[in-house]
Amino acid sequence: MSTDVKKDNIMNVDTVAMDDARSALVIIDQTRLPGEVHILSLTEQKDIWEAIYLLKVRGAPAIGVAAAIGIYLAAKGIQAKEYDVFYAQFKQAKDYLASARPTAVNLFWALDRMEQVVLDNKDKPVDEIKRLLHDEAVAIREEDIRVCRAIGEYGLTLIKDGDGILTHCNAGQLATTKYGTALAPIHLGVEKGMHFKVFTDETRPLLQGARLSAFELHSNGVDTTVICDNMASQVMKNGWVQAIFVGCDRVAANGDACNKIGTSGVAILAKHYGIPFYVCAPTSTIDMSIAHGDDIPIEERPAHEVTEMWYKQRMAPEGVKVYNPAFDVAENGLITAIVTEFGIARAPYDQSLREIFRRKEEAAKA
Whether 229 is catalytic is no
Is 177 in contact with 61 (CB distance < 8 Å)? yes
3-state helix, strand, coil in the chain (%, to 5): 45, 20, 35
- Please name the residues in contact with 338: beta carbons below 8 A apart, sequence gap of 6 or more: 251, 255, 257, 278, 279, 280, 281, 286, 344, 345, 346, 349, 352, 353
- Please name the residues in contact with 199: beta carbons below 8 A apart, sequence gap of 6 or more: 164, 165, 166, 167, 225, 226, 227, 232, 235, 240, 241
Supply the DSSP string of 311-335, one letter for each residue.
-SS--S-TT-----BSEEEE-GGG-
Largest CA distance in the chain: 66
Distance CA 281, CA 355 (A): 15
Q: Are strands 2-5 and 164-167 parallel, antiparallel or unpaired?
A: unpaired
Q: Residue 227 is inside which H or E element, if any?
A: strand 223-227
Residue 7 CB neighbours (<10 A):
14
Angle, helices 83-98/105-120, rounded to nearest 10 degrees: 180
Distance CA 137, CA 66 (A): 9
Closest CA to 171 of 285, 254, 252, 271: 285
State the catalytic residue, choosing from 29, 201, 249, 256.
249
Query: Annotated active-site positions, please?
Result: 249
